[in-house]
Amino acid sequence: MTNIVDDKKALICLIANLLRDCNHVAVGAASPIPGAAALLAKATWGTPRFVNILGSVDNNFFTGGGGELFDCAAQGRIDAFFLGGGQIDGQANINLMGRGDYPNCSPRWPGTFGSAYLYFLIPKVILFREEHTRRTLVEKVDFISAPGLSDEKTYRKGGPFGLLTSKAFFHFDKEKKRFRLVSIHPSSSLEDILDNTGFSFDYSEETPLTSPPDPALLEVLNRVVRGKVAEVYPNFADTIFPVTSNAGHDT
Amino acid sequence: MPMAIEEISIDDFAKAIPDGAKVAIPADYAGVSMAATRALIRRRAKALYLVGVPTSGLQAELLIGAGCVKTFESSALTLGEYGPAPRFTKAVREGSIHLIDATCPAIHAGLQASQKGIPFMPLRGILGSDVLKNHPGWKVIQNPFAIDDDLIVAIPAIQPDVALFHAPLADRDGNVWIGRKRELVNMAHASKTTFVTVDAISETSLFETEEKAAGVLPALYVGKVCVAPNGSWPLPFWNGAEVDDAHMRQYMQMAANDAGFQEYLDQFILQESVSA
């Protein structure tokens, strides 16, 4: 259990580092790890200056209604966002619709949400999917909720930056149109990743291990951000912050 | 001066939404009228065309499970951390509902076109997705102002018969306070009429202060108001209640099979006393 908690905190710290150069980060309601990471980056560095957690009351400053997020994205006012999917393929296509033949998917997943739009308009889209198996990381998705790539004539300001899983971090190379393995988490290995990835990708035999989280960052997470995370994602907060101590200082 | 709001029971309120109506419903975070949802199931509503703005959750799940829905147009149906919606999943697998799968900003854009009284609204993105390929209404057009090739997706107007949601407050004139949930204003402007359940009635006009007036949907758009305290239960409400976690877990257990779902309907919807 402790290892799972440590692994999740490591993912939060890794993502926080990816958001440090952003001004405005938006996070979906059901994304506790990216949400915690955005709050951590803001608390630690003051950047991103704006964090919007959709569906939250306290951590959402939009006053223009549900459409404001999309207008913001189209104007380039959102720097980073997270997308997942039941299937992700080697071209960075994502499938949030379901497995099998549409429309009678089985299983059917919730649906495409804003992905078909936001993937085109937000510069740094981080694909995040904890499950790293051949079931989720596939050669070709069954349904393209949002394409990873578009032709040159298509208006496209954004797209895939990288893919983070419970085993590794990949960068998406838009020129080569392929993922490149950047680092391997300590709990995994190159062999494990090759065994469990359904698409081909570029890698070096000497791919480094993912750096362990900076203790200072972990300290901020555990002491300062903890309360905020609990506000937005109570169930998730219960799993990653032990209830034995009452060090839940809010900002 | 006569009161603009008539006292109406939740069941009579639901009866005023006819079978076959195209009903716009908000996402869980914007205030869902679960009280009206249960009343629609009690009156055995049929062939509803739901528009989830831009997604839906337990509301569409229950209506679909109870056989009230013919068409579901939205960007997602999600019960969040409770897991896959069992009745929706079954209906999709069996092909028993007609799906029009969209993407969130396209639902907003379709409503915006309707509120402006124009036939369509263009929208970026979407090109190359299977959502576009399968959508019956969207068209890809050339940007008429561009010299070079610039394809853009045209989203036709969505005009619901009724917008249905839950809000904190209405006044005696039928004005409704929606705070900063502006998507409810968009829904109401786009729809032919709007039905609202509220936690309470304000005895003073909502236009009395500018602070309050800034978040008001004017009575012009409002067809019916029904008082239903805690009317979003068991869903959370932005101006009050937390989600009823224990009830949601119980729902997931009971709705896992047909008999259990029927028992859920019997226990929590069909038996519900009208005054509740």
**Could you tell me if A157 and A118 are in contact, meaning their C-beta atoms sit under 8 angstroms apart?**
no
CA distance A80 to chain B (A): 16
Contact B101 A104 (CB under 8 A): no
Residues B54 and B125 in one domain: no
Fold classification of A2-240 (topology level):
Glutaconate Coenzyme A-transferase (3.40.1080)
Q: Is ipTM over 0.90?
A: yes
Torsion on CA atoms B266, B267, B270, B276, rounded to nearest 10: 180
Residues B71 and B124 in one domain: no
A170 near B CB under 8 A: no
| Local structure of residue A123 (DSSP, 8 states) | S
Give the integer Cα–Cα distance in Å for B269 and B276: 11
| Cis? peptide before A32, omega within 30° of 0 | no
Give the integer Cα–Cα distance in Å for A56 and B261: 30
Helix, strand, coil percentages for chain B (3-state, nearest 5)? 35, 25, 40
CA distance A55 to chain B (A): 5
**Could you tell me if B141 and B151 are in contact, meaning their C-beta atoms sit under 8 angstroms apart?**
yes
For chain B, what is the domain count? Answer: 2
Q: Tell which of B128, B156, B184 closes a domain.
A: B156
B102 part of a folded domain:
yes
Q: CB neighbours (10 Å) of residue A100?
A: 14
A158-215 pLDDT per residue, tens: 999 999 999 999 999 999 999 999 999 999 999 999 999 999 999 999 999 999 999 9
What range does the domain containing B31 cover?
A: 10-119+157-270
| Local structure of residue A187 (DSSP, 8 states) | T
- Please give the share of chain B, as a percent, with pLDDT higher than 90: 93
The bridge status of strand A168-173 relative to strand A178-184 is antiparallel
Give the integer Cα–Cα distance in Å for A140 and B244: 39
Interface size between A and B, measured as CB pairs under 8 A: 149
Residues 17-46 of A with CB under 8 A from B: 29-30
Residues B134 and B223 in one domain: no
Residue B2 has pLDDT above 90, yes or no: no
B276 part of a folded domain:
no
B235 part of a folded domain:
yes
Q: How confident is the model at residue B273 (pLDDT cuts 50, 70, 90)?
A: low
Residue A180, CA distances (Å) to A146, A161, B35, B97 in order: 20, 11, 51, 42
B82-112 pLDDT per residue, tens: 999 999 999 999 999 999 999 999 999 999 9
Residue B40 has pLDDT above 60, yes or no: yes
